[in-house]
Amino acid sequence: MFAKDADGRLASRVGTLFFKTPGLVTRRGIHAMQRMMWIDEVNAGRAAKGLPPMTEAEEEEELAESVDLIFTEDCVLIRPDPNHMDLAMRADEELQKLVSKRKIRFLNTHAAKVRNALRARGENWRMARQPISQDDMARLIENSRVAISGEPFYYYNSATGTRYVTVAGSEGLAHLPAGACREQMKEAQKMLTRRNRLGHVELDLFPTTTPPEIKQNFKSLDIDSLSDEELTATIERLDAEWRMSIPPELREESVDNFDWRNAMCATISAGPNETSADERDLIQGISPEFYRQIEWLPGARIADGELIFDPLWDEWIRTRDPELAELCDPRARNILFNFMRQFGDFEYLNVGRIVNSLARSPIAGSRRGSVYIFQYKVAQISEPQISILRFQKWGTAEHLDEGKDLLAATLEANEYTDYIMDRRLMCQQLGMTLPPYLGIGQFTEPYLGKNQYRGTTIRTSFFMRAYVPGTASDKIPTVRYRNPAFALKFAKLMGEAAAMDLIVGRRSTETKENLFDRNYEVVQLGADGLPARIVITDHAGTFVNYLHELEDSVAPYANVVRRRVKWLSDPGAFASAYVESFAAKLSSVQTRYRARRRAFDELFVHRPFDVAGSGAYRWAKTLERLDRCDTEQVAARLMEAIGA
C-alpha cells in the first residue's frame, strides 16, 4: 500500500477493498476505475475455472461490498459510507493485518453515524485532535496572520492554502486611507473568486458558517463605481450585516474568548483529508474550555458481555514501541479494568487525559496529567455518561518519593484520602453547592520512583464525579456581560459563591493564591438564557487559609468585578449586586451556624484534633472565625477593594 515509485512518491494514493470476493486493488486510477478493474479480475478468474461472467446483479453485489481507501505518506484513510459502517469496520480489521492500527484513520468523522460507530468501540482516540495548550493556541492564531499585498488582515491555513478574513478585519478596511482601502478591497474581492493549486478557495469568510449571501454581497460589489465615501459607507453596511449573522459568542474576536479562539484554531488547522472530530462532537454539550485539552486513549468495548480492550494494547505489549508508550497509558487501562469489576452493564468505555490545566491562569506548581475523563454507555440509559477522575495529590507513591518507608507512606496516603472527603463534608455542611456525588476508587500499580521500594506494588487512589455541564465563570463569553439582566444575575450568584469561598478559606496549597473565579465555579443557565445556578466542581484548596480573619482575607474577591469592568454597561450596578449578595450569604451562613452550633461543632469530634493542622482543628478554627466576624465590615472591605 505504501509502495513508492522511482521518484519516492506513492505509487498509488487510492485503493479499494472488496469483501464478497476478497481482494484489494491499489493500481493507479480513481476508485471507479479500480472497481471496473476488479470486475475484470473476478471474471478472468471465473473464466479460468470455466464459469460464465458475472451477471449484472452479481456485479452490483460485488461492488456493494467494497470500501474506498486513500493513502497518505504514512496512513491509510478509510472513507466509510455512514449508512454501512459494518463494511468500514470490516475494512479496519482487515487493514490491521497489514499495518499498525494507529496508521489507519477514518474520513467523514463529521457524520454522527461514523463518530458513534467508533465511539461504541472505545475509539475516541482515533478521531480526536491532538491536545494543544491555551498559550500555544493563541500563538498559532497570531502566527497565522498574513498579508497578501496590503495589510495583514487574514488568517492563513497552511495545509489548505486558504486565507480567512474576519468581520473585524473587514471593518479595519474602512479605517484605512481611501486609496489603501480601495486596493485592499479589490484584492479581497479577487481572492474570494479564485482557487489555489490545491483546489481550495484562496479567501473565505470566517466563521465558515457565515451565510453565503454575505460573501456574495462582497463578491458582487462594484468598487470602481463608488466614490471613496460611498465605498466606506457600503463596507460598513455590509460589515454590520455580516456581524449580525455571526453567533453572538463569536463576535468578540480575541483569544480570551474561548468560543472564538476554538473556532479559529479549528479553521486554520483543518487539513484537506480531515480525520478529526471536534470535542463537542465527541461529547455533546461539553464546555468550550475542553477544546483540544483531552488526549483520548485506547479504550474498550463490550461484546456479548465480554470486555475487549483495544487491540493497540496487544501491539504495545508485543513491540514496546516508544511511540505507543504515551497512548497505552497503564493508568487508563487500570481505570477501565477497575470499573468493569464494579459495574456489569457497560456497552463501551472511552478514557482520556486532561493534559493541561483548564484554568485561564494556571497556578504555578500545579500537577499535570492527574485528571482523566471517562465516557461510558450503560444499557439502561440512552445517552453516554461523562465522569471526571482526579488522582489523589498525595498518595503512597508521592510519600515514598519523600523517602518515607512503605508503611508510613501507605498510612499517610490513607489519612489524606479521609482528609479530602472530610473537607467535602465541611463544605457541604456550610452550604457550598458541590456535585452531588464523589466516589473513591483504587487500583494497584507498581511504584516506579527512586525509593528503595521501586517495583513494589502499591495502591493508588482517585476520586470520581459526574461531569458538571455549564461554563466556568472565567470562560463566560464577554459579550454576555453587555446584557444587563445577565450581568446582574451573574453578579448575584458569584457574590454568594464568593462568600462561601471566603468562609472555607480556599487557597492554592503551593502559592497561597486566591483560587476563586479561576476554573472551579461552573455557571449553568436557565431556560431564559440567564445564569440560574453555580456549582463548585472541586473543593480543592479549601481550608488552606483557616487562621486569618475574614476581614483580612476578602480583598482578592474584588477581582470578580475589576476584571470585568470593561465589558459591563453598568459597572456600579454589577458591583452593588455582587457585594449585596456576598453580604447576604455571609450573614446567612453565620446565622445558620449560631442557630445550630452543636450540628457544626460536634461534626468532627471523632477525628484527631491536632493544632499542627488536622482537619478537625481547621474546622474548629473556621467556625470560630465565622462566628466572630463582622459581616457588614467584611462586605465594606470588599467594596473598598473593588473601588481601590
For residue 290, the surrounding DSSP H or E stretch is: none
**Do 535 and 524 meet the contact criterion of CB atoms below 8 Å apart?**
yes
Beta-ladder partners of 348: 301, 377
Nearest to 327 by CA among 340, 345, 342, 310: 310
The whole-number pLDDT of residue 365 equals 47
Q: What is the DSSP letter of 155?
A: E
| d(C-alpha 66, C-alpha 34), whole Å | 11
What are the cell numbers at 294? 483531552
Does an H or E element contain 43, and which?
helix 31-48
On the 0-12 / 13-18 / 19+ scale of CB atoms within 10 A, 475 is buried
Cα-based angle 9, 11, 13 (whole degrees, multiple of 5): 90
All 3 cell numbers of residue 396? 503512597
The gap from C-alpha 34 to its chain's centroid, in whole angstroms, comes to: 40
Angle at 430 between CA 426 and CA 432, to 5 degrees: 90
Is the sign of the CA dihedral 101, 102, 106, 112 positive or negative?
Answer: positive
Phi, psi angles (nearest 5°) of residue 176: -80, 160
Q: How high is the pLDDT of residue 361? A: 56
Cα–Cα distance measured from residue 601 to residue 578, given in angstroms and rounded to the nearest whole number: 30
| Phi (first) and psi of residue 472, to 5 degrees | -60, 145
Q: Quick check: helix, strand or coil at residue 361?
A: coil
Interatomic CA distance for residues 475 and 469, integer angstroms:
13
For the chain, domains (ranges, CATH) are 14-108 (no CATH), 134-269 (no CATH), 279-466 (no CATH), 471-643 (1.10.1070)
- Per-residue exposure over 213-242, b if at least 16 CB sit within 10 Å of its own CB, e if not: ebbeebeebeeeebeeeebbebbeebbeeb
Split the chain (644 residues) into runs of 10 and give each run's mean pLDDT: 67 90 91 94 94 94 94 89 95 93 90 93 89 88 86 88 93 85 90 89 94 93 92 93 92 89 91 79 84 90 87 92 89 89 85 80 55 90 91 95 96 96 97 95 94 95 94 91 96 98 95 93 96 96 96 97 95 97 98 97 94 96 97 97 90
Q: How far is CA 195 from the centre of its chain?
A: 33
Q: DSSP letter at 530?
A: S
CA distance 467 to 385: 8
- DSSP-derived secondary structure letter, 594: H
Q: Which helix (H) or strand (E) holds 31?
A: helix 31-48
**How far is it, in rounded angstroms, from Cα 399 to Cα 408?**
8
Task: Tell which residue, 641, 443, 615, 634, has the closest CA to residue 539.
Answer: 615
Q: How many residues appear in the chain?
A: 644
Give the span between the Cα atoms of 452 and 301, in whole angstroms: 38
Amino acid sitting at position 50: G
CA distance to 392, 417, 612, per residue, from 405 (Å): 19, 19, 22
User: Do 467 and 386 touch, CB atoms closer than 8 A?
Assistant: yes
Angle formed at CA 170 by CA 167 and CA 172, multiple of 5 degrees: 115
Using alpha carbons, list the distances in angstroms from residue 103 to 18, 97, 114.
20, 12, 18
Q: For residues 191 and 194, give the distance between their C-alpha atoms in angstroms, rounded to a whole number.
A: 5
Which DSSP symbol is given to 505? T
Cell reading at 289: 474550555
| Angle between helix 484-503 and helix 571-595 axes, rounded to 10 deg | 40
Single out the residue of 188, 159, 155 nearest to residue 276, CA to CA. Answer: 159
CB within 8 Å of 14: residues ≥ 6 apart: 26, 29, 30, 31, 34, 68, 69, 70, 71
Identify whether the C-beta of residue 83 lies closer than 8 Å to the C-beta of residue 53. no
C-alpha to C-alpha distance for 131 and 153, rounded to whole angstroms: 27
